[in-house]
């Protein structure tokens, strides 16, 4: 069973380790020509730097989840290919840093989640909320791992409004995961900033984040805004590498609204943002 996270005492910092060749933010570690051993070594080194800088959770992903409506089409990665990258990296980080961090697997495939948990992951981060493959919920249930359920959808149409849609979708996903055996106390919800949403929807959800948490019964809340496109749009077209200050602003405001985990690329800087925000918000 995964180590227990103590909700309400602090905001946890999740560092992103992308073992992909095509991350939207340009930080993918799986450069062409590298061996698996070289990728694992680079990932462990990055994860160690994140842990030294303050991250308590390391999120490993081997398939780009960048939204197609924002970044264009990209090929699907089959489960075997994804696992061949993700699982050795999870094992390497868990072996090297398992006493210091909780390792998370960013996947929407049940078989990849199961293999990653066997390799040492204690959290499954599913950007499709176990809807595309309920096997992610089954894997988390069997292992006692945490499961992150994120709102996502194809397209940006919200006839009922973005806020009401996200609340209803996440509520349904929570009950479905509980029905598959995931303890409610091991579930985390994520409004899916940047996924199936334009700038207006992202800003609304962040503006109403405290209300969203209340509507979901105070469930632990993960917020991932790091380097995302809407920040660039708010900053007159700033590129991904120029969105750090905007990311820090969204993180501080998310913490003030009740975020329990913030998922970021720039761990050292955002750790300072988190520490000051927690001192003010949580005392």
Is 109 one of the annotated active-site residues of the chain?
no
Distances in Å between the alpha carbon of 153 and those of 48, 158, 159, 202, 265? Answer: 34, 10, 13, 14, 23
Stretch (H or E) spanning 189: strand 187-190
Select which of 228, 229, 243, 274 is catalytic.
228
Q: Distance (Å, rounded) from C-alpha 149 to C-alpha 41?
A: 29
Q: Distance (Å, rounded) from C-alpha 91 to C-alpha 89?
A: 5
**At residue 258, what are phi and psi to the nearest 5 degrees?**
115, 10
Q: Would you state the torsion angle of the CA atoms of residues 12, 243, 67, 214, taken in this order, to the nearest 10 degrees? A: 40
Give the three-state DSSP class for 24.
coil
Report the alpha-carbon angle 4-10-13, nearest 5: 80
Q: Distance (Å, rounded) from C-alpha 88 to C-alpha 40?
A: 7
Which alpha helices (DSSP H) does the chain contain, by range?
36-53, 68-71, 79-97, 110-119, 135-143, 162-179, 199-207, 209-215, 229-234, 244-256, 267-281
Q: Distance (Å, rounded) from C-alpha 147 to C-alpha 177?
A: 9
Select which of 180, 213, 227, 263 is catalytic.
263
Q: With b meaning 16 or more CB within 10 Å and e meaning fewer, what string describes 157-171? A: ebeeebbebbbebbb
Is 263 one of the annotated active-site residues of the chain?
yes
Catalytic residues: 228, 263
């Amino acid at each position: 069973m995964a180590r227990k996270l103590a909700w309400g005492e602090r905001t946890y910092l999740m560092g992103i380790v992308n073992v992909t060749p095509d991350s939207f933010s340009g930080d993918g570690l799986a450069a062409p020509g590298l061996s698996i051993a070289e990728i694992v070594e680079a990932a462990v080194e990055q994860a160690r730097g994140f842990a030294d800088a303050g991250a308590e959770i390391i999120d490993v992903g081997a398939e780009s989840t960048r939204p197609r409506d924002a970044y264009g089409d990209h090929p699907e990665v089959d489960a075997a290919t994804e696992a061949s990258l993700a699982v050795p990296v999870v094992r390497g980080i868990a072996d090297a840093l398992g006493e210091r961090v909780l390792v998370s697997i960013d996947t929407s495939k049940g078989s990849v989640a199961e293999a990653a948990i066997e390799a040492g992951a204690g959290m499954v981060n599913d950007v499709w909320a176990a809807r595309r493959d309920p096997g992610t919920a089954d894997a988390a249930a069997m292992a006692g791992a945490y499961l992150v359920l994120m709102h996502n959808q194809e397209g940006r149409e919200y006839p009922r409004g973005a806020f009401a849609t996200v609340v209803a979708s996440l509520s349904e996903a929570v009950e479905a995961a509980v029905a598959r055996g995931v303890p409610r106390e091991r579930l985390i919800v994520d409004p899916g900033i940047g996924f199936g949403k334009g700038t207006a929807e992202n800003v609304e959800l962040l503006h109403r984040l405290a209300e969203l948490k209340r509507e979901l019964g105070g469930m632990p809340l993960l917020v991932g805004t790091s380097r995302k496109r809407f920040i660039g749009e708010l900053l007159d077209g700033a590129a991904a590498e120029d969105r750090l200050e905007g990311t820090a602003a969204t993180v501080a405001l998310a913490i003030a609204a009740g975020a329990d985990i913030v998922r970021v690329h720039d761990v050292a800087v955002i750790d300072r943002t988190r520490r000051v925000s927690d001192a003010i918000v949580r005392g």
